[in-house]
Structure 1
Amino acid sequence: MAKDAFDLVIGLGVTGHSVIRYLADQGMPVRALDTREAPAGLDDLRAEYPKLKIHAGGFKSGWMKRARRLIVSPGVAVSTPAIAEQAAEGKEVIGDIELFARAASRPLVGITGSNAKSTVVTLLGEVAKACDAKPGVGGNLGVPALDLLREDAGLYVLELSSFQLETTYSLNAQVASILNVSQDHLDRYAKFSDYVAAKQRIYDGCQVAVWNRDDLATRPQNPAPREVTFGSHPEAHYRLDAERQVLTCQGEELLRLDELALTGHHNAMNVLAVLAMSDALGFDRATALATIKVFKGLPHRCQLIAEAGEVRWINDSKATNVGATLAALTGIGEAIPGKVILIAGGQGKGQEFSPMGEPARQYLRAALLLGQDADKVADGLAGVPCERVADMAAAVARARQLAQPGDAVLLSPACASFDMYSGYTARGDDFTARAKEVTGG
C-alpha cells in the first residue's frame, strides 16, 4: 500500500459508522465523507475518532481520486456520477458486506427478498440459537454485519438488501435465499430487471440455494450446487397444503397451521423458508419445529396490537412496498371472518399500485389513505371505497367507525413513511398508540 493511501467511507449512517470501526480496528488508514451537511451522529463520531478526517456537505473530488478504494454505504447509489466516474477508471467500489465476506471465517447464511426477510432472519436466528449454533444475526437488520465479527459466532445469519448486494462480490454463502421479489425501490433502479439482478447476486458462490417455487424471479439464474424450494406449488420441496392447512416436506407433514403463533398464509411461507434453511444447515428438526411454534413475529410486521369489539388492530408499518401489503392483505383476509379496513399511503417510490386492486376488492371493506401518494394508491384500488384522511389520528378514528365484528383494521401502507415520519417505526408507534386509545388499551 502506498504511504498516503487510504480507504474512503462514503455515507455516515449506521453502516458507515460500522465500517469506520472495523477499519480502525484493523489499523487501516481511513477517511469519511457524507453529502449531508450534518449527518446524525457526526459529533459522536468525531469525539470517538478525533484524528479521523471527515468531509460533510458533498463529494470531495481530491479524496475521491486519491482513495485506494471507495466503501459505499447502501443508502448511496453507486450510479451517483462522482462514484461511477471512479469505478469507470478502475477503482474498487465495495460495501460493508464485501468487507465482511472477506473477513468472516464461519459459515454464512444470506437472506434477501422484497418482503419478510427480517422475520425469516430473526426466526432462523432463533432456531440456530436453540440448536446451539451460536449465531451472529444482523446485516440490514439490527447489528451491522462488520460488528458481528467482534462476536464469538459459530454461524452468521445476514439480512441483505439489494443495495448491499450491489457492492458484494465474494459472499459465497453456505445457504442463500431470495424469499420473494416484487416492485420496490424503483426510484433507485432504472427498471425492475435491474432490481432483480441485484437480488440474484446473493446466489453467487453459494452451496445451497433456497428459493420460492411460487415466484420464479427468486430462482437462481445460474444453477447452484444444490437447490431447495418452498411454496404452495405442488412441486415445492417444502410445501403449504392450503386445503389441508398443513406444512409438508416431500409429502411428510411437519406442522398444522393452527400450531403456529404466526397467522396468515404469508407467514406460513416464511416458516417454510426457515425450515428449508434449517434442514440445509443440519439443525435438529424437532428443535426447529418447537422454536417455530412459539415465535410471535416482529414489531411492525403484521403485529396484533389490540383487539376490542371482535375487531383486530394490526400494525404492519414495515410494509413499505406493494408486495408486502399484498401479502398482509391476502394472508389476513383469508384468516378472518369479516373484512379488512386498510390504512395505507405515504411515499410510493415510483411503484405501480394496481396489483393491489383484485385482492382489495375481495377483502377490503374500505381503504383510508394518507400521505404524499394517497391519490396514486387510490387509483390502484379502483372499485374499493377509498377515503382520504389528513393524518393517522383521523385514519384510526374513521377505522373505528367503519369496523364491524369480525373485521381487522390493518396499517399496511405499501409506501415509505418519510413524508410524514422519521421512519416506519415511528409510523407504527403512532398507529399503535392511537389504536390503543380508541380500544381502551
Structure 2
Amino acid sequence: MSASDSSTQLRLPALARVRRALVVGCGQSGVAAAELLAAAGVELRLYDRRAEVHGLPARLDGAELYFGEALPPDAAFADLDLLVLSPGVPPRLFRERYRRLVPEAELHGELSLALTMVADWNLPTVLVTGTNGKSTVTALTGAMLAAGGLSPFVGGNLGIPLCELVLAVAEGRRERPGALVLECSSYQLETLRVYPEAPRTSVAMLLNVSPDHLDRYDSIGHYAQTKARIFAGLDASSLALLAANDPFTPTSSQAVPPVADSKLVDGPEPPRLTEGSQDLELRPDERYARSQLPLAGRHNAINALFALAGARHLGVSREHCEAAMAGFHALPHRMNPIAERGGVVFYDDSKATNVASVLAGLDGFERPFVLICGGRAKQGDDLRALREVLGRRAKGLVAIGESAEQFLAMARGAVPCQQAVDMHAAVRAAASMASPGDAVLLSPACASWDMYRSFAHRGEVFAEAVRALGSPDTD
C-alpha cells in the first residue's frame, strides 16, 4: 500500500520511476526524506533500530515498518527502486546487501536525494564542509546572499533538512528560494551522488580537517577524502575554496575538477588576513576592516574570508557583504559571550567538541581565561596539543565528565587545575579562579553524551550555572 493517498500525490518528476523505497533511520533527516517520498506516492518502507519511534507524521501511516531489529531483513529490500540512508547510518553496513539484493536501485542520503529533486531549479548552490566552523560559514554566507537579494535557503546539516524545503515548495507552503547554502557533514557527503541529473555546485568550501569521527572512518586520511567529495559537482563556472594552511589541502585539492577555479584561503596571497591589523583582504584592491566583523578570534576572521569569497563569486556587492558582516552574531554555543559577572565574561563555546576547535577559538582570543573542558573524548584526539596555550595564557582549568582525569594529567604543572562533579560546580570553581578582565570559557574539546543530551543542552546548563552565580553586571 502506498504511504500517500493517490488523490493528493505530488508530481515530482525526479521520482517518476520510483515505486518502492526503503528509508533507513527515522531521525529528522530520515523522516524528511520519507515524507517527501510518501507525498509523491512512493510505496514506503521504514527501518530503525529502535523498537518504537514516537512522533512519526500522519503522512507516514501507510508505510511498512521494520523497527527494533539490528539490521533490516532481506524482505525490506525486495523490489526496491531506491534506498535512502540517514546520515548516522554508515553506508558500509548496507552496500554489500544492497548490491546483492537490489543492484539496480539507487542509493542516496537525504541531502543527495533532495539535491536530485531541485536539479531543475537551476539555483546557485553553495556547499560548505570542514571539521570546524562550517555552521558559522554557512550562516554568514547565507546572510550575505540574503543581503544581496538572492533569497537563499540556508540549511542541510544546519537546521532544516533540504527534503523539508523541497516538500514545502512542492505543496505551495513556501516560495522557491533564489539560492541554496548547505552545510554538509562528512556523513552526508558519503552518500552524495554526482551525475548528469544532479545540480551543479556553484561554490564548494572545505574549511579544515582535523581528527573527528574516527570511530566511523578507517583513518583521518579516509575522513579527509570523504570531506573532499564536496568538490565533485563543480564545473567551469564554479569556485573551490580550501584552507591554505591545512595539512590535508594538498591531497584534498586533487579532488577539485581541473576545469573549476580554485583558491587557497589565508595563504601568502589573497584571500588572506593581513599581518598586524588582521584585515580581510579578498583581492589586492579589496580589503575589509577586521572591526566590521563582530566575532571574536582569528578563526572567525578566516571563516568570514571563506564567506566573502563565496558571496562575491555569486555577484553579491561589497556593500551588501559589509552590511551582512556587521549585523552577524555568533551562532548559539559557538564562542558566545553570555554574561558578565564582576568583570569576568562567560563564553559558551559548547560546540567545540574536539581539540582543534578549541585551539581555533583561542587563536586571537584576547582575554586571559579559565577553561572548563571535558566530556566524552574523541577517538584520535591528542589533548597534549592544548598544554602550550594553557601554560601561556590560561588562569586555570576545570575538568568535568568521563575524560576529566585525562585533562588534569595533561594540564598539571602548566596551570592550576580542579575537577568538578557537574557544570554548576565547574562554573563556581572557574569563577573563583578568574579575576576582573578575565574570561571563563566553556570549550570542552569533547562530545557531550556522557552527561548531556547534546552540545546545545550542555551549553544551556552552562548558562543556567552562570545565572545561578548571582545578578549580572550586564547580560
Contact 1:354 1:379 in 2 (8 A): no
Give the AA of the match of 1:23. L
Secondary structure of 1:177's aligned partner: strand
Structure 2 residue corresponding to 1:241, chosen from 259, 274, 277: 274
Distance 1:4 1:306, change over 3 A: closer
Shift in alpha-carbon separation, 1:2–1:109, aligned structure 2, 3 A: closer
CA contact (8 A) 1:330 1:359 kept: no
Which residue of structure 2 lines up, in the alignment, with residue 161 of structure 1?
Answer: 185
CA shift in 2, pair 1:100/1:346, >3 Å: same
Matched, 1:226 2:271: no
Deviation digits for residues 99-138 of structure 1, max 9, x if unmatched? 1221212221100111111111111111111111010110
Contact 1:310 1:405 in 2 (8 A): yes
Please state whether the residue corresponding to 1:75 is helix, strand or coil: coil
Equivalent position of 2:454 in the other structure? 423
Note closer, same or farther for the CA distance 1:4–1:108 as it changes in structure 2 (3 Å cut). closer
State the shift of 1:289 in Å.
Answer: 1.1
Q: Distance in 2 between matches of 1:251 and 1:3?
A: 51
Show CA shifts across 1:208-258 (max 9, x none): 101111214244223441012221x212x2111141231112333522222
Is 1:201 the counterpart of 2:232? The answer is no
CA contact (8 A) 1:238 1:276 kept: yes
Question: What SS does the corresponding residue of 2:364 show, helix, strand or coil?
Answer: helix
Query: What residue identity is the alignment partner of 1:226?
Result: D
State the TM-score, normalizing by the size of structure 2.
0.86
1:115 corresponds to:
132
The question of 1:73 aligning with 2:119 is answered no
Equivalent residue, structure 2, for 1:413: 444
Asked whether 1:397 is paired with 2:461, we answer no
Which residue of 1 is the match for residue 317 of structure 2?
A: 284
- Letter of the aligned partner of 1:355 in structure 2? A
Q: 1:249 to 1:185 in 2, by over 3 A?
A: same
Output aligned runs, 1:311-350, within 5 Å. Answer: 311-332=344-365, 335-336=366-367, 339-350=368-379
- SS at the partner of 2:340? strand
In 2: Cα distance, 1:24 partner to 1:367 partner: 52
TM-score, with structure 1 as normaliser: 0.92
| Distance of 1:186 and 1:384 partners within structure 2 | 30
Mapped contact 1:302–1:315 kept (Cα < 8 A) = yes
Percentage of pairs with the same residue: 36
Q: Structure 2 CA distance, aligned partners of 1:2 and 1:254? A: 49
Is 1:263 aligned to residue 296 of structure 2?
yes
Structure 2, unaligned runs of 5 or more: 1-14
Deviation at 1:294, TM superposition (A): 2.1
Read off the aligned partner of 1:345 and give its amino acid letter: G
CA distance in 2, matches of 1:190, 1:223: 23
CA distance in 2 between counterparts of 1:315 and 1:410 reads 6
Residues 77 and 98 in structure 2, CA contact (< 8 A), matched pair in contact too: no
Pick the aligned partner of 1:355 from 379, 385, 388.
385
Q: Find the counterpart in structure 1 of residue 9 from structure 2.
A: none
The count of residues paired between Structure 1 and Structure 2 equals 430
RMSD (Å) for aligned C-alpha atoms: 2.1
- The one-letter amino acid of 2:296's match is T
SS at match of 1:79: helix
Between the aligned partners of 1:26 and 1:360, the Cα distance in structure 2 is 56
Letter aligned with residue 203 of structure 2: V
Work out the CA distance in 2 between the residues paired with 1:116 and 1:3. 39
Which residue is equivalent to 1:44?
Answer: 56
